[in-house]
Chains A and B, each alone.
Chain A
Amino acid sequence: MSAILRKIIAPGGIPAWGIRVIASRTYSSSAGGKEMTVRDALNSALDEEMSADPSVLLMGEEVGEYQGAYKVSKGLLDKYGPKRVIDTPITEAGFTGMAVGAAYHGLRPVVEFMTFNFSMQAIDHIINSAAKSNYMSSGQISVPIVFRGPNGAAAGVGAQHSQCYAAWYASCPGLKVLVPYNSEDARGLLKAAIRDPDPVVFLENELLYGESFPISAEALDSSFCLPIGKAKIEREGKDVTIVAFSKMVGYALQAAEILAKEGVSAEVINLRSIRPLDRATINTSVRKTNRLVTVEEGFPQHGVGAEICASIVEESFEYLDAPVERITGADVPMPYAANLERMAVPQVEDIVRAAKRTCYRSVPVAVNA
């Protein structure tokens, strides 16, 4: 597939507007066809930032000798040595507290959690020691730290390894929360996070590590950086806005393809950043399409979709032609059995159905086994 330019000809032969359909997850027509996995994107970002700034350290369980629990830090121990790539004892509270202390005194640690589920054992240090310190010390103690690791559901890992922490961390003033989707996001946002003077929670996705995405020459440059707090419109559309982050962006794009065949043109927004939330981009899009579907894997109550819905209602209520639809994970701890797990996370069909509901083309909500 390649980029297609399509014109919608309204009755009377006058072109209404043009839509360029860009398919992601295939070869880009722009660059010379280079592809990169998310894992390599993260590795290269870490490598470049550690090379550029000797105060950047990486620490966590298995990051050194084991090359990283998910091989994200492959080769870094050999290149930078044990003083900058630190294999820590098993104590999230310990190494997070220690890293925050190091950040207090001028180092720039990148702390890896084997999964963000384990960050709960260190959450006091993330919130009380990192997020609030600059404020409570009136600017005397800044915390240029990055907390990164896989977040959300993987495959068949059960309740204690599948929770999404985007909403929890994003509710905290003092933190920045980033959610990369593809390789370009991974590179640009991780580099921005490491350079940022404030504490950043960087939520990756285990299932995306091995996925390959096209990457431009610009994104491969070592000075490449994405702005924090700006969402990206992955696919332009006019009938309904679908807002997603991380893995759900891929699902939303698949849903948009299916919807296009049925005559519904969906605009897909890749949030890239949960805090700060790019309310302007979301509102502008909804004012154009008049319909909104939010997608996330996390629990429904007090989730990211709830905040987006509130933002739209507060700022663009008159533009809505249909109630906002939230697609979220099920309100249960993640079950293990494959069939149950499938029912507990959003699937592409759920997004398609929700988008259709907002377009008044409701379909019976049948349960697919």
Chain B
Amino acid sequence: MNFTSESSGKRIPCFRVLDDNGYPIAGSIFEQVNKEVAVRMYSGMVTLQIMDTILYETQRQGRISFYLTSTGEEAINLASAAALSPDDVVLPQYREPGVLLWRGFTLQEFANQCFGNKADYGKGRQMPIHYGSQKHNYFTVSSPIATQLPQAAGVAYSLKMDKKDACVVTYMGDGGTSEGDFHAALNFAAVMEVPVIFICRNNGWAISTPITEQFRSDGVVVRGQAYGIRSIRVDGNDALAVYNSVRTARQTAINEQRPILIEALTYRVGHHSTSDDSTKYRAVDEIEHWKTAQNPVSRFRKWVQGNGWWTDEDESEFRSNIRKQLMEAIQLAARKEKPPIANLFTDVYEENPPNLVEQERSLGETIKKHPQDYPSDVPL
């Protein structure tokens, strides 16, 4: 009688291409990335960094109500996006705006959503950072954790029925793997044999819960086999490793019509969100270490510059350019009109029900009767 041990003793190894200094590790096998893709990935990572810094400050100044950064996870964001095709459907958690950035969402569009103005594609209905864009195949961010996982299995089922040359990519954090939906989603995806890539950003923290208190397994990668899913553990701060693993996962998922699990190890450098102060539950030098010595952006920069594709001048010029663009976008977004009152009532159903039509009419009449009580900067 042999009980299988609760742990295999050895941790699952982690796939890496670049060492901490941005040099390819001797003997590592990887698909090369050309200059165009590399520079686009790198500049995307820098843009995400700057966007996070400035929009975070904007919340601190009271100009937007909420913000959530992806600091420390830029490589996962941009490299995974670069490995996908525009037809692949993305169901994010909320720490993946870099994927939307890669696909062409502009700084102005990000700012509009955060300010909830008239130009926001979400018609002012969602909190900041809950981006969504049908034309970029990026499903609107939904706050409850891990609900996007079984949904992703469902979208993948739909792609499978249409025999599309595309897959679904869905993201979650380490904390999200504790939700019941994680279990149901992976089990379903395996049983239904659908083309979905589950990317877990294991960044060490779920608000204040460290991974030591989140699970007792060897991270997330070991769970894949329990569901019959092919899995890999990857250095999430190594842009080339992330790129390579997602490329291969995509091919496998589509050609073999099966799900894949990728655990990308990384670190959440920022606070959970603007509602959190992580220095209350973790050491400041731990944060500093990952911010500097283990920074995925500078690591990839070393490789890109090493290939002669980027210079220090390019860096400072690019950074000041993006900063300027973003500041302008924010000024514009802040000045833009708020969404019209009509947006309060539409889209509850496909067609406005009679009770809402009546309420809108009644509200319009009240506003006409008491114009002095209605804010002048809010359009009807």
> CB-CB < 8 A to A129: which residues of B?
142, 147, 151
Between A and B, 19 residue pairs with Cβ closer than 8 Å are A89-B184, A94-B150, A94-B188, A97-B151, A98-B150, A98-B154, A101-B91, A101-B150, A101-B153, A101-B155, A102-B154, A102-B155, A104-B151, A105-B154, A124-B147, A128-B144, A136-B140, A137-B140, A174-B349
Considering the complex, give the chain B residue whose CB is closest to the CB of A125: B147
In angstroms, Cα B142 to Cα A134, docked, is 12
Nearest A residue to B164 via CB reads A105
Judging by beta carbons under 8 Å apart, are A198 and B132 in contact? no
Question: Given that A93-B184, A138-B347, A139-B346 are known contacts, is A100 also in contact with B158, CB under 8 Å in the complex?
Answer: no
Are A105's CB and B89's CB within 8 A?
Answer: yes
Does B121 have its Cβ within 8 Å of any Cβ on chain A? yes
| Interface assignment of A192: CB less than 8 Å from any CB of chain B | no
Chain B positions within 8 Å of A97 at CB level: 147, 149-151, 153-154, 181, 184-185
| B348 at interface, CB cutoff 8 A | yes
Q: A98-B151, A100-B151, A135-B125 are in contact. Are A83 and B188 (CB under 8 A)?
A: no
Residues of A within 8 A of B132 (CB): 137, 140-141
Residues 117-169 of B at the A interface (beta carbon under 8 Å): 121-123, 125-126, 130, 132-134, 139-140, 142, 144, 147-159, 161
Cβ–Cβ contact B122 & A137, under 8 A: yes
Query: Please, how many angstroms separate the alpha-carbon atoms of A174 and B356 in the complex?
Result: 12
Is B203 an interface residue when CB atoms closer than 8 A count as contact?
no
Asked if A33 is at the interface (CB within 8 A of a chain B CB), the reply is no
CB contacts under 8 Å to B, within A155-213, are 173-174, 176, 196-198
B350 touches A98 (CB 8 A): no
Q: Chain B contacts of A198 at CB under 8 A?
A: 349-350
Decide if A176 touches B349 in the complex (CB within 8 Å). yes
Cβ-defined contact, A83 with B126, below 8 A:
no
User: Counting CB contacts under 8 A, is B187 at the interface?
Assistant: yes
Give Cα A369 to B359, complex, Å: 49
Q: Does B354 contact A (CB under 8 A)?
A: yes
Residues of chain A lying within 8 A (CB to CB) of residue B348: 134-135, 173-174
**CB <8 Å contact, A94 and B187:** yes
B33 within 8 A of A: no
Does A91 lie at the interface of the complex (its beta carbon under 8 Å from any beta carbon of B)?
yes
Interface centre among A91, A124, A136, A173, by most B CB within 10 Å? A136
CB–CB B347/A139 < 8 A: yes
Closest 3 CB pairs of A and B: A94-B184, A101-B154, A97-B150
Docked Cα-Cα span, A212 to B353, in Å, equals: 34
Cα distance A137–B141 when bound, in Å?
9
The CA of A125 and the CA of B153, in the complex, are separated in Å by 14
Cβ distance A122 to chain B, nearest Cβ, rounded Å: 10
- Complex Cα distance, B1 from A246, in Å, reads 56
Interface residue ranges of A275-326 to B (CB < 8 Å): 276
Complex interface bits, B57-70 against A, C-beta within 8 A gives 1, otherwise 0: 00000000000000
Contacts of B122 in A (CB 8 A): 136-138
Q: Does A270 contact B (CB under 8 A)?
A: no
Asked if B191 is an interface residue, CB under 8 A from chain A, the answer is yes
A136 interface neighbour in B142, B152, B183, Cβ under 8 Å: B142
A274–B126 CA distance with the chains assembled, in angstroms: 28
Cβ–Cβ < 8 Å partners of A255 in chain B: none
In the bound assembly, the distance between CA atoms of A136 and B349 in angstroms comes to 11
CA distance A349 to B272 in the complex (A): 60
Would A91 and B144 be within 8 Å (CB), given that A100-B154, A140-B132, A176-B349 are in contact? no
**For the complex, is B355 an interface residue (Cβ under 8 Å from A)?**
yes
Q: Which residues of B contact A (CB under 8 A)?
A: 89, 91, 121-123, 125-126, 130, 132-134, 139-140, 142, 144, 147-159, 161, 180-181, 183-185, 187-188, 191-192, 343, 346-350, 353-355
Interface residues of A in 114-131 (CB under 8 A from B): 124-125, 128-129
Please determine whether B142 and A128 come into contact, CB atoms closer than 8 angstroms.
yes
Interface contacts beyond A100-B151, A104-B155: sample of 19 additional A-B pairs, CB < 8 Å, sorted by A: A94-B187, A97-B151, A98-B153, A99-B154, A101-B148, A101-B155, A101-B157, A102-B158, A107-B154, A107-B157, A109-B154, A125-B147, A135-B125, A137-B140, A138-B343, A139-B346, A139-B347, A140-B133, A229-B353
User: In the complex, A78→B89 CA distance in Å?
Assistant: 32
**A138 to chain B: closest residue by CB:** B123
Q: Does A95 make an interface contact (CB < 8 A)?
A: yes
Contacts of A95 in B (CB 8 A): 150, 184, 188
Assuming the contacts A101-B155, A125-B147, asked whether A93 and B191 have C-beta atoms less than 8 A apart, the reply is no
A104 touches B154 (CB 8 A): yes
A94-B150, A128-B142, A141-B139 known; A136 and B125 CB under 8 Å? yes
In the complex, what distance in Å separates the CA atom of A122 from the CA atom of B147? 10
A99 cross-chain contacts in B, Cβ below 8 A: 154
Q: How far apart sit A197 and B180, CA to CA, in the bound complex (Å)?
A: 28
Chain A residues whose C-beta falls within 8 Å of the C-beta of B152 in the assembled complex: 101
Q: In this complex, which of A96, A102, A128 has the most chain B Cβ atoms within 10 angstroms of its Cβ?
A: A102
A241 / chain B contacts, CB cutoff of 8 Å: none
Tell me which of B140, B144, B161, B346 contacts A141 (CB under 8 A): B140
Q: By the criterion CB–CB under 8 Å, are B158 and A140 in contact? A: no
Residues of B within 8 A of A105 (CB): 89, 154-155, 158-159
Question: Is A18 in the interface zone, CB < 8 Å from B?
Answer: no
- Are B91 and A138 interface neighbours, CB within 8 A? no
Instruction: State whether the Cβ of A333 lies closer than 8 Å to any Cβ in chain B.
Output: no
- With A134-B347, A140-B121, A141-B132 in contact, do A104 and B150 touch (Cβ < 8 Å)? no
Cα of A196 to Cα of B346 in the assembled complex, Å: 17
A106 contacts chain B at the CB level, 8 A cutoff: yes
- Residue on B with the closest CB to A276? B353
Chain A residues contacting B184 (CB-CB under 8 Å) are: 89, 91, 93-95, 97-98
Instruction: Name the residue on B nearest A197 (C-beta).
Output: B350
Bound-state Cα–Cα, A86 to B161, Å: 13
Let me know if A37 is at the binding interface, CB within 8 A.
no
Chain A residues closer than 8 Å to B349, beta-carbon distance:
134, 174, 176, 197-198
Any B CB within 8 A of the CB of A253: no
A103 in contact (CB, < 8 A): yes
CB distance from A314 to the nearest CB of B (A): 12
Which residue of chain A has its CB nearest to the CB of B144?
A128
Interface centre among B140, B156, B158, B191 (most CB of A within 10 A): B158
B151 touches A89 (CB 8 A): no
Residue numbers in A under 8 Å from B353 (CB-CB): 229, 276
* From B130, B161, B185, contact of A98 by CB (8 A): B185
A142 to B351, CA, bound (A): 12
